[in-house]
Amino acid sequence: MSEDRGRWGSRTGFILAATGSAVGLGNIWGFPTQVGQGGGAAFVLVYLVAVLFICAPILLGEIVVGRYSQLGPMGAVRRLAPTGPWWLIGILAVSAGTFILSFYSVIAGWTVQYLWLAVTGGLESGPEASGALFTELAGQSWRNIFATGLFLAVTAWCVNRGIKRGIEAAARIMMPVLFVLLMILAVRAVTLPGAGEGLAYYLRPDLSQLRDPGILGAAVGQAFFSLSLGMGALITYGSYLHRSHKIRSAAMAIVGIDTLIALLAGFIIFPAGFSIAGFDPATGGPGLIFAVLPQLFATLPGGLIFGAAFFLLLSVAAFTSTISLLEVPVSHAIDQWRWSRRKAAATVGLFCFVVSIPCALSFGGGPAALADLPVIGGSFFDLMVNVWNEWALPIGGLLISLFVGWRWGVAHAGKELRREGPGFPSPKLWGVLIRFVSPAALVFLILLRIAS
């Protein structure tokens, strides 16, 4: 085993780092966007079902594979299943990590620029200007490339410091900061005038919405991204655990905290949104975070402080997630190609930066073709999101659940869980979920995507 592999300092360190991976832009921006587009509280219900019955079993499955094999996705499947097409899981993991990081870091770059604007008073321009401000900012090529590159450089620096001194140390500082910011903002948002309407929208389900099968598809997709599933991020993080560390309760904690933080983000976004005249909850996307909310920060007394807190929250959440995205291909290069951690972090980081450039130029600041690709009809950025989020992650997740449930097999995996003594979920319940429920739901999701 390579000297560079590394290990968590403690089980708590692992839980914090894995939670840091899970909690990101997906929770604070993606989740409220999906709730807004999926019709409000009904989506929240479906989401909770998807998390518990479809995603949590896969999350535990990834961690079992990592802890048992003490290797990242490619090493693990090669060792546990030398025959068959399972190496595809390894390929998907490395490429999804690299390419998701390339567009994710562009948005992370925006959050840092907004933080800067909030601190320097640049958000003060007034409500009408917020939409225009975003369009202008997203079109500033050099500034966005610079901010994206900076974010990637800090991520690579942290990953280069190693598992305990880099990834775990960052999570130990960032996660408490994130939680405090989240609480302050939630309290501020629910006490805004007009917050009641937003809360009703968020909490009172309109059950007629449930007739749309698309809701389940959207909920599974969102939960997958939010929990960092489908590309072996948790196989990788699990591989730095000691074989004696217990993982069932750790998996429950990661799922619980990630879901709690997504729900809390809804308590910020919806009351805040509905307190602005003419707010449409289905706005979603960049418009919601970067155009709608700054209106509020511009008009609220002391709003810039909350604006700064909000964009700091987003930057911090994004940072612990970009770390995990980079760590997957970096650990692959260390395990499989025997690279040093330094060489791996620098090379993969640089490669991601190169791919992130066309992503950053997809918003009007670059060649027109990037903003609207011929044939595909969408920007380069949209294309990347589509390929990697909408296709690669569910396919990866399906392969991982089949691999754990059927190829390596629940007999082996269950034995690995039983070693820990009694706990929840029982290996039997978990076995049924990962063999039947999760793969069936993912096949349904993939068919739904093919049909649309």
Among 22, 63, 220, 255, binds ligand TRP (CB under 6 A): 22
Please calculate the CA angle 143-349-291 and round it to the nearest 5 degrees. Answer: 35
Task: Reduce the DSSP state of residue 405 to 3 states and report it.
Answer: helix
Structure tokens at 288: 């919601």
**Does residue 218 belong to the site contacting ligand TRP (CB under 6 A)?**
no
Among 325, 345, 357, 360, binds ligand TRP (CB under 6 A): 325
HSE (side-chain half, CA atoms, 13 Å) at 148? 27
**Does residue 228 belong to the site contacting ligand TRP (CB under 6 A)?**
yes
**Does residue 438 belong to the site contacting ligand TRP (CB under 6 A)?**
no
Structure tokens at 441: 């739901």
First to last CA, the chain: 46
28/371 with CB nearer ligand TRP: 28
Minimal distance in Å, beta carbon 349 to ligand TRP? 15
Taking CB under 6 A as the rule, which mask of x and - marks residues 229-268 in contact with ligand TRP? Answer: --x-x-----------------------------------
Minimal distance in Å, beta carbon 224 to ligand TRP? 7
- Position 354, amino acid: V
Q: Which stretch binds ligand TRP (CB under 6 A): 16-24, 108-116, 163-171, 373-381?
A: 16-24
Please calculate the CA angle 223-175-76 and round it to the nearest 5 degrees. Answer: 55
- Which candidate, 290, 308, 32, places its Cα nearest to that of 144? 290
Minimal distance in Å, beta carbon 104 to ligand TRP? 7
**Does residue 24 belong to the site contacting ligand TRP (CB under 6 A)?**
yes
**Does residue 21 belong to the site contacting ligand TRP (CB under 6 A)?**
yes
Tally Cβ neighbours within 10 Å of residue 411.
Answer: 9
154/192 with CB nearer ligand TRP: 154
Is the Cβ–Cβ distance between 215 and 448 less than 8 Å? no
Is the Cβ–Cβ distance between 356 and 131 less than 8 Å? no
Among 225, 267, 274, 339, binds ligand TRP (CB under 6 A): 225
The secondary element (H helix, E strand) that includes residue 212 is none
Touching ligand TRP, residues 265-324 (CB under 6 A): 321, 324
**Does residue 71 belong to the site contacting ligand TRP (CB under 6 A)?**
no
158/410 with CB nearer ligand TRP: 158
Q: Which stretch binds ligand TRP (CB under 6 A): 25-33, 185-193, 201-209, 332-340?
A: 25-33
Quote the CA–CA distance of 192 and 20 in Å, as a whole number: 29
**Does residue 25 belong to the site contacting ligand TRP (CB under 6 A)?**
yes
Quote the CA–CA distance of 393 and 228 in Å, as a whole number: 9
* Cα 178–chain centre separation: 15
Is the Cβ–Cβ distance between 302 and 167 less than 8 Å? no
Minimal distance in Å, beta carbon 234 to ligand TRP? 8
Among 6, 15, 27, 331, binds ligand TRP (CB under 6 A): 27
Q: Which stretch binds ligand TRP (CB under 6 A): 22-30, 50-58, 174-182, 431-439?
A: 22-30
> Could you write out the three-class secondary structure of 294-306?
HHHHHHCCCHHHH
104/306 with CB nearer ligand TRP: 104
Among 6, 26, 217, 271, binds ligand TRP (CB under 6 A): 26
Number of residues engaging ligand TRP in binding (CB under 6 A): 16
Tally Cβ neighbours within 10 Å of residue 286.
Answer: 18
Quote the CA–CA distance of 68 and 289 in Å, as a whole number: 40
Is the Cβ–Cβ distance between 231 and 408 less than 8 Å? no
Q: What residue ranges in 197-315 does DSSP mark as E strands? A: none
393/445 with CB nearer ligand TRP: 393
Minimal distance in Å, beta carbon 231 to ligand TRP? 5
241/417 with CB nearer ligand TRP: 241
Minimal distance in Å, beta carbon 27 to ligand TRP? 5
Q: Which stretch binds ligand TRP (CB under 6 A): 17-25, 144-152, 185-193, 274-282?
A: 17-25
Quote the CA–CA distance of 318 and 109 in Å, as a whole number: 10
Minimal distance in Å, beta carbon 26 to ligand TRP? 2
Task: Reduce the DSSP state of residue 373 to 3 states and report it.
Answer: coil
Q: Which residues bind ligand TRP (CB under 6 A)?
A: 21-22, 24-27, 100, 225-226, 228, 231, 233, 321, 324-325, 393
